[in-house]
Amino acid sequence: MTVRAVLAAIFAAGIAAIAGPASAQTYPARTVKILVPFPAGGPTDLVARLVADRLSAGLGQSVIVEDHPGGAGGSIGAKTVATADPDGYTLLLTPVDVLTQAPLVYRDVGYDPTKNFAPVALIMTAPLVVVVNPSVPVKTLPELADYAKANPGKIRYGSPGFGTSPHVVGELFKATTGANIIHVPYRGSAPALNDLLAGQVQVFIDTITILLPQIKGGKVRPLAVLSDKPSSYLPGVPTTVAAGYPMLQSVYTLGLYAPAGTPASIISKLNSAANETLKTATVQAGLSKLGAVALGGSVPDVSAYMAANTKKAATMVAAAGIEPQ
């Protein structure tokens, strides 16, 4: 290599070293995109738009939401972010189980949850609820199990997709009770809920975030909250623990992620902005209307939650007898 070439390489390296930190310091210099791996109108989309509105103010730049309902339990949309440029301008807002549980039920999701994503912040959490179309003559989970056994193959339950927590819980309910219920996977919560209301499926398991308005309106009947503690938003609705099904506990928790390799300074800025956003009265009130609770916290908090969720998911998937696709 000539002296001129060596000097040119050194100069280029120096420029790169200067440009890297400078870009992080000026972030964000353009619109930030939050990708949601499910259709519009679902719980993740609703929360994403609520948070994006206030996050824009915190970052001093426009934040938009794009829905990528590619199916496969949200993993196709997640993969889009995993392979995006690690510059902080393409983020993923997703149920944590898309990163922790989907890899357990799909042979190849196209990403490694810990190697391809940089955690930013936990956003919110809400319990899952089992509901039925009012035409189904049951009011409790044990009654549903008995009814399904008496009517084998006639009861269909919808879920936001194969590999999502509602699907795993549904299969675990079948494995626990011996009930013959047919799973109907959708590409998100909104289309599944539409079919429940129309009677195309009779049972639906999903977050209170999307089901609360339908429950209050009497359009669906809640059977149980999938937790060990009752929900203040659903007084009188028993928990799965009280109903005699302690294995059926699951929550819907959303996390914000960036592609792996995103500069630490940008991750820190996003984490700080997310935490401030979650403290605003607008977001607090919006989440409360959806039956959800804001989380927030540090970046390590996200990693710790994911690790714990992965262990729990592995236990539930194995007990449900779900074979990877």
CATH number at residue 64: 3.40.190.150
**Does a structural domain hold residue 275?**
yes
C-alpha–C-alpha distance, residues 246 and 145, integer Å: 15
pTM: 0.88
**Does a structural domain hold residue 231?**
no
CATH number at residue 196: 3.40.190.10
222-247 pLDDT, tens digit per residue, is 999 998 889 999 999 999 999 999 99
270-316 pLDDT, tens digit per residue, is 999 999 999 999 999 999 999 999 999 999 999 999 999 999 999 99
**Does a structural domain hold residue 67?**
yes
Nearest to 27 by CA among 112, 121, 90: 90
Residues 131 and 280 in one domain: no
**Does a structural domain hold residue 172?**
yes
Structure token pair of residue 98: 């898309």
C-alpha–C-alpha distance, residues 272 and 274, integer Å: 5
Domain count, the chain: 2
Is the pLDDT at 10 greater than 60? The verdict is: no
Structure token pair of residue 274: 């997310």
> Residues 43-68: what's their mean pLDDT?
94
Structure token pair of residue 84: 């995006």
What pLDDT, on a 0 to 100 scale, did the predictor assign at position 267? 98
> Residues 198-217: what's their mean pLDDT?
95
Q: Which domain holds residue 283?
A: 29-125+252-320
Contact call for residues 144 and 245 (beta carbons, < 8 A): no
What pLDDT, on a 0 to 100 scale, did the predictor assign at position 8? 47
Residues 55 and 33 in one domain: yes
Contact call for residues 117 and 111 (beta carbons, < 8 A): yes
CA angle, 249 as apex, 247 and 253 as ends, to 5°?
A: 150
Pairing state between β 221-225 and 203-207: unpaired
> Residues 66-80: what's their mean pLDDT?
83
Is the pLDDT at 130 greater than 90? The verdict is: yes
Residues 94 and 72 in one domain: yes
